Amino acid sequence: MKTRLLVATLLALVPIALLDANPMARVDVGKLVAELKKNRDEAEPRLLAELGALRTREAALALVELYDTTFGSIYMRREVVKALGSFDGVADAEQVALQKLSDVATAGDEPELRDMALATLGNCNHLGKHFLKAIVESAAEDDVRERAMERVVRMADPGDREFFERVFNAPIAEKEAEKEKGKGKKDKDAQPERKVHSVKSIRELAFEQIAQGLDLPRLYAQSREKERDNVTELWGLRRLALLEIERRKDKGLRDLAETIYGDQTERDSVRVEAIRILVEADGAKLAPRLLEDGRGNVDVMPEMLRRALGDHLATLRDDATDKKLVKLVGKGKLHEQRFVLRALRGYRDEKLLKTLAKEVLDATKKPPPKGNDPEYNATRDLVLQTLATLGGSGSKAIEPELETVVGACKDQAIVAGALDALTELRKGDAAWVKRLTELAASPQVEVRNAALLQLGKTGDRAHAKVLAAAVSNSDWSTRFAALDGLLALRAKEGIGPIVEQMQKESGLMLVRFADALWRLCGKPFRTSAPAWKAWWDKEGASFEPISLAEVARLEAEEEMRRLKQTTKSAQFFGIRIVSQRAIFILDVSGSMSEVLRSEYTGKQGTPRIDVAKAELLKCIDALEPESLFNIVVFSSDVDTWLDGVAQSSGGDRAQAKQFVAALGAGGGTNLYDSLRTAFADPDVDTIFVLSDGEPSVGEVTDPELIRERVAEWNQHRRIVIHTIGVGGTFQILEWLATDSGGSHRKFQ
């Protein structure tokens, strides 16, 4: 072994020219590199593929140098990354190439490059898995390690079990290593050692790979193991252990599920799995218990679990329990009424449907309060849920009540819900489509937007005129709804009005108008409003929208163009900012004073709030001058930098930075009220949320209910919400981003 290592070391010191037995290959490398360096980001990407095809050490080294010194665009550097994968299995070149891929994956400055490096390593069958494993066990960012682990799992074979065991047992090994270090003498001059932290998601992936080989006692022990500190989260492992025991059909499964379900300190998602197992074991016999528990105190029964109980009752359809549910309709506290309604989904009874429709009417006779009213908000939740149930019932008998709601109710959200329900019930009804056309001109924004969206869904180009008129509406969300409808219809009649309105747009709406025109016309004018107008004035009379197949082809080309750009846009925690009317929501609760994990062993981490403030200050400096933004901070209460929004000019930026710099941490976590404050801005199109904990104070603290409320607010506004989770796994943040088409980042 020592002899082989010595030979390898000596070979690494030999000049490249002596190693290359093919002089023609050396010439090719020189010519290719010279041309690539001459043209830089404008060079032909095929030249990089040709370098990779040579599969020599000289070519590999040349690619590494080109990546580091020549290219500025994501596209060309990504092409280098792809070419480096060609050297897998090439004895004297693969170490150089795959090490560079590993470096890009762990330290690349763009997510596209990190993702491509990981994907390329995942396609390297000789040593790719080796390097991916090294990334998993490195001090790289958590999300990079997680994606590397996912690729290791895809490539796994029986020989990888030791690796998965080691990753799973990493926390125990870390503690033992720390104890050993504490016994020895400390070297003051020693360089600090980078610390590899255990990551919840990575441990869970490892556990899934070893679970089938574990004996039942260990699985049962894992299913009961509780958190021993404030860092290690074990609820995901408990859930996986429970599922593995279920897979084996062990006789102790039901008792275990009973214990987990009855444990009010257990994570909601684990209890949801436990009740599912109990229902599968006991069937309809469990229905009375589900009914009782589902109506239980709101403080004891989390909404996620309550909904699961209702869904199981709806699936069981036990006659005796259904009769009790029908008698309970409209009775009890609001959370009980919502549970009963959920449990009756799919229950077909015209009398019940008429009762529900009447309850909606009764609940909407009074106008909504002028200010925020928690009781009214909860009642609205029930009404909207009832409307959704009625819309899916298929009953024609309830249409008169719903039409009364549309015509008389003063609550825009409820009217929009009734409108959606009626549209579902009256598909293909010409009279209703005519009514939608009238409602598309409603002064109520929610109603107007809902009608426009429904008209677009009809597929009838006869509605293009109505939609085209709405693209110049003063409300941006209405313009967005009209754009969506015109895109769905693909009608020529909408192109001219879109071009005209685009001349007045900026920020995210300018991007959206440009995207709509590009998908309809395929022209390369991007956000240049004058270019679109000049083209339309010249060619519009004879132009017809392009096909969807052509759109797909152009999408690939557009993505390539974006990657070829060398300029960088403003970012907040790595999330690009394309909006020019954004709100940044920042958690300043007491836990934000806690420190993040340290990068080095024995060193103190940085307080969470300091990291958040530094990132926001950097983001404010990078915003475009014409950008409009505001800052909302929350702890037990909610505060804003400004009552409205400010333009990102020098004076505004200076004031905003002073506001951020003065922030301190203290109090609870009032996420709900901070979101409501942000949504109160009628023109905001993008929201960034940074938080480090589950909601603890405010009008609503249950994550499921917060998610539902935000979805209601956003149904016809479609604000993009990006979220950043600090110090743990918070499903509410992931939900908010996923539901709105935003991005989610997490760091610890």
Distance CA 689, CA 30 (A): 50
Report the pLDDT value the prediction gives residue 1, as an integer from 0 to 100. 37
Distance CA 547, CA 300 (A): 55
Report the pLDDT value the prediction gives residue 192, as an integer from 0 to 100. 62
Q: Is 473:449 a contact under the CB 8 Å cutoff?
A: no
Q: Which helix (H) or strand (E) holds 233?
A: none
Taking each helix axis from N to C end, the angle separating 319-328 and 334-343, rounded to the nearest 10 degrees, works out to: 140
Report the pLDDT value the prediction gives residue 652, as an integer from 0 to 100. 83
Distance CA 748, CA 738 (A): 21
Domain 571-747, second-level architecture: 3-Layer(aba) Sandwich (3.40)
Report the pLDDT value the prediction gives residue 21, as an integer from 0 to 100. 44
First to last CA, the chain: 41
Whole-Å CA distances, 166 to 106, 194, 210, 411, 714: 21, 19, 11, 58, 45
Collect the ranges in the chain with pLDDT lower than 50.
1-25
Token pair, residue 495, equals 């192109």
Q: What is the pLDDT of residues 219-273, one digit of tens each?
A: 999 999 998 776 678 999 999 999 999 999 999 999 999 999 999 999 999 999 9
In CATH, 20-171 is 3.40.50.150: no
pTM to 2 decimals? Answer: 0.82
Token pair, residue 198, equals 């255990």
Distance CA 17, CA 24 (A): 11
Distance CA 727, CA 696 (A): 16
The SS3 assignment for 640 reads strand
Report the pLDDT value the prediction gives residue 260, as an integer from 0 to 100. 97
Share of the chain above pLDDT 70, in %: 90
Q: What is the pLDDT of residues 606-648, one digit of tens each?
A: 888 998 888 888 888 888 777 788 999 999 999 999 887 766 7
Q: Is 580:624 a contact under the CB 8 Å cutoff?
A: yes
Distance CA 716, CA 728 (A): 31
Distance CA 49, CA 55 (A): 10
> What values do phi and psi take at 641, rounded to 5?
-65, -50
List the chain domain ranges: 20-171, 231-347, 571-747
Report the pLDDT value the prediction gives residue 562, as an integer from 0 to 100. 65
Residue for token pair 């199109």: 685
Report the pLDDT value the prediction gives residue 508, as an integer from 0 to 100. 75
Q: Is 387:421 a contact under the CB 8 Å cutoff?
A: yes
Give rounded-to-5 percent helix, strand, coil for the chain.
Answer: 65, 5, 30
Token pair, residue 653, equals 């930026």
Distance CA 28, CA 46 (A): 14
Q: Is 412:384 a contact under the CB 8 Å cutoff?
A: no
